[in-house]
A and B are shown apart, each in its own frame.
Chain A
Amino acid sequence: MWISALILLPFLIVFGLAAVYAERKVAGFVQDRLGPSEVGKYGLLQTIADILKLIQKEIIIPKGVDAFLFRLAPIIVFTSVFAGFAILPLSPMLMGAGLTTGIFYALAIISLDIVGLLMAGWASNNKYSILGALRAVAQIISYEIPIGLVVLSVVIISQSLDLQTINYQQGIHIASLIGGESEKNFLFGIAATGIETTQIGGFLTWNVFRMPFLWVGFIIFFIATLAESNRAPFDIPEAESELIGGFHTEYSGMLFAIFMLAEYGMMLLSAFLAAILFFGGWNTPLPNIGNISLATWTSGAPNTIYGEITGFFWLLCKVFLIIFLQMWVRWTYPRLRADHLFYLCWKVLVPFSLVLILLSSVWKLWSF
């Protein structure tokens, strides 16, 4: 439990550095240019140079601002995002708090970062900042609804809010779970097909295959978490070209860096949640095929060192793939206009996720 906390903060900071570099390289490839290439081999040291520059910079606190709230805001934003990491199971053994309320807690604590954004916008005493903060709040509160509904449909399928339980259910080690000894997985979650996949494992027991409509759920979740972390194409709260950075217009030096770290933390957290909820978490994607038992080979049993290493490896692979998708989308699509943004949320994503809840309930009843 404590180990997880000790691992995650350095991991998040290193990830922040690596992700900024990756972001600029991906942007470079998408826009047919090289990206950072001067500092170090292939520009690898570019972000380290950047963060050194940010650390040395003076933190400028403008005259008209509310100095206390101005300093407090980035801390609240980062803390609330980082508190969401507390429940993440990184491997069968390595996990933070094993809460029964798991994913519900994560959704609740992440929603606190709105308060930090509002605080930043207000304390800056600046029209651009307050406009950015109001836009951010409107956007994040709206997009929390499809996220909640999609997570609910996953919870209906897995009958648990605990992320570790959800992980165990999506692989061949389901019998190691307390209370999961008699649980069985069937192809597409339908017992009537008669094809039992409990021991086949691999991608066939992931949630997106236990209930195929969850592919739609993943797309909704992906879009909504992009909006939640204020990334393009949903970056109207920051919108450099119209709001000069939105709520963090007045911030400089490390305070600005903490905002950026919170944004990348949010990306990482949403990728972790997507990987766990839809793509099997730390379970291997390779199935057992007859005598060639790929799943057993590539994922060790829980409580063994091999099991820990493979679990961590597969989870990180999935997470980085999803983060690559997020970057790809950012550099491919232009920013949405405000009314299009709310149209997408309330008239497209919410109805689809409501239908998805109905479908998952029927699916769960059907598969019994």
Chain B
Amino acid sequence: MTFFFYLFATLTLLMTLLLLLSKKLIHLAFSFLGVLLGIAALFVLAGADFLAVAQILVYAGGVLVLIIIGIMLTQTAPKENGQNITSHSNIISAVLVLVLFSMLVYAFISQPFEQQTWIQNAQIQQKTLQTSTLPSTGILLMTQYLLPFELTAILLLVAIAGAITLLQYKNKSRIL
């Protein structure tokens, strides 16, 4: 278990490094696939099986494909030497990233994880790691979190309707 955790954690970190260092935009997108799969594996090891599968379905199968198609349709071939991705001049963004990172690290350190009841419960009852989270997720979504769940559905419906309307006004000719 610990071995697999370190294996997948190393894989995820390596893929992230590859993502940050790759010169070509398309390599970046494909190493993102490795990152997503590694995180999904870590979710499985943490006992969150439903979350892991949802991660693969939504991010690796959906969002990533969207990103890749976006890159394919926008990038022009001569710019592929990578000038526009690894520019070192942008100090403002570096400062912003550093501030955000230190905030996250501070929040993580200052959090008393040892005293959280749900973590203590999980440490005592190792069995919760073995059982699937699927039934309890379903029941919670349909009872306690029904309103947010339905609101998300409405949000998605609005997004779809918006996308269709945009497409109809801007583009009357058929593609594909």
Task: Write the residues of chain A forming the contact surface with B, with a CB cutoff of 8 angstroms.
Answer: 66, 69, 99-101, 104-105, 107-109, 111-112, 114-115, 118-119, 122, 130, 134-135, 137-138, 141, 144, 161, 338-339, 342
Within the complex, the shortest CB–CB distance from A143 to chain B, in Å, comes to: 13
Mask, B56-95, CB within 8 Å of A = 1, is 1100111011001100100000000000000000000000
Partner of B132, one of A101, A130, A338, A339: A101
Report if B129 contacts A (CB, 8 A): no
A161 engages B60 (CB within 8 Å): no
Distance in angstroms between the alpha carbons of A342 and B61 in the assembled complex: 19
Chain A, Cβ-Cβ closest to B65: A114
Residues from chain A with a CB closer than 8 A to the CB of B30 are 69, 115, 119
Given contacts A114-B61, A138-B176, contact A109 B72 (CB under 8 A): no
Interface of B is mostly: helix
Partner of B53, one of A108, A114, A115, A134: A108
Residues from chain A with a CB closer than 8 A to the CB of B62 are 111, 141
Chain B, Cβ-Cβ closest to A161: B134
B61 engages A134 (CB within 8 Å): no
Given contacts A114-B61, A115-B68, contact A101 B49 (CB under 8 A): yes
B65 engages A100 (CB within 8 Å): no
A130 engages B134 (CB within 8 Å): no
| CB under 8 Å from chain A, chain B span 28-69 | 30, 33, 49-50, 53-54, 56-57, 60-62, 64-65, 68-69
Chain B, Cβ-Cβ closest to A107: B57
Report if B26 contacts A (CB, 8 A): yes
Report if B127 contacts A (CB, 8 A): no
Distance in angstroms between the alpha carbons of A137 and B132 in the assembled complex: 32
A118 engages B53 (CB within 8 Å): no
Residues from chain B with a CB closer than 8 A to the CB of A137 are 65, 69
9 A-B pairs, CB-CB below 8 angstroms?
Answer: A100-B134, A101-B49, A101-B134, A108-B61, A111-B61, A111-B62, A115-B65, A115-B68, A339-B176
B174 engages A118 (CB within 8 Å): no
Within the complex, the shortest CB–CB distance from A156 to chain B, in Å, comes to: 12
| CB under 8 Å from chain A, chain B span 3-38 | 24, 26-27, 30, 33
Residues from chain A with a CB closer than 8 A to the CB of B49 are 99-101
Distance in angstroms between the alpha carbons of A168 and B77 in the assembled complex: 55
Distance in angstroms between the alpha carbons of A161 and B50 in the assembled complex: 11
B57 engages A135 (CB within 8 Å): no
Residues from chain A with a CB closer than 8 A to the CB of B69 are 118, 134, 137
B176 engages A135 (CB within 8 Å): yes
Chain A, Cβ-Cβ closest to B24: A66
Partner of A105, one of B27, B53, B60, B135: B53
